[in-house]
Amino acid sequence: MSFFRKRINGTYVLDKREFGSRLKKMLGFRPGNLKLYEIAFIHRSATLTLPNGKKVNNERLEYLGDAVLEAILSDYLFEKFPDASEGFMTKIRSRIVNREVLNQLAVSMGINKILVSNVSSVRPTKNLYGDALEALIGSVFLDKGFKKTKKLFIKSVFSKYLDLNQIVSTDTDYKSLVFEWVQKHKSNLIFKYNEEYDFDQKKSIFSTTLIIDKKEFGVGQGSSKKEAEQEASSQAWKSLRDNCN
């Protein structure tokens, strides 16, 4: 359990003062509806059941935060690059909401220290903290509105922990890079897929193997085929690049 939960009579309860203090330090303002933020840090693996039977975790807030984050970045990039094409802005936004980047941001903020989760340390947790960050954004949106949420993310998270110039200049679309290599060398590329249901996470997990000319170059896993393809392509590109050097 996270540091702000103390065991009393065999149950975990929220230390509201300590939690509020931690949030204020993280966000730069005092939250209004503290319950919203508490839910944002409860992973589905640690779902709470209320006395009325209702189950509570951060999945719904994550869903909302994902949409709000996309709107924030769309608005920000539209203002930041007044002459940019739709394709350019879409590519940059995709790089920012990449699961690896969101996890990096979440850890930089300290979300990993307060997230409540029962996920085993031996299980993949690559999306754990990024999902919680999206849930936090959803909480701020419901509590403070879009304008405050945008200000928080851009000034206190994005500008503090990420370098926009580096994001713009770095091409991380590994799938496109691999396809370009395959076309250049007149090779044959296929993805082999497998879908499993994770009963702990209560969602489908996709895995794929990237094969070039009947040789395995990368294996990826994710909550969507696209995410799995990117991970497999990342492994493949590193191998192709090293062999070319």
Q: Which of 160, 158, 154, 103 is nearest to 127 (CA)?
A: 103
Is 173 known to be catalytic?
A: no
DSSP secondary structure letter of residue 122 = T
Chain Cα centroid distance, residue 74: 17
Largest CA distance in the chain: 67
Active-site position among 59, 131, 134, 143: 134
Name every residue whose Cβ is closer than 8 Å to that of residue 59 and which is 6 or more positions away in sequence.
Answer: 44, 135
Chain Cα centroid distance, residue 186: 35
Is 134 known to be catalytic?
A: yes
Q: Please tell me the distance from the alpha carbon of residue 36 to that of residue 184, in angstroms, as a whole number.
A: 52
Beta carbons within 10 angstroms of residue 81's beta carbon? 14
Active-site position among 66, 70, 173, 216: 66
Task: Give me the active site residues, please.
Answer: 66, 134
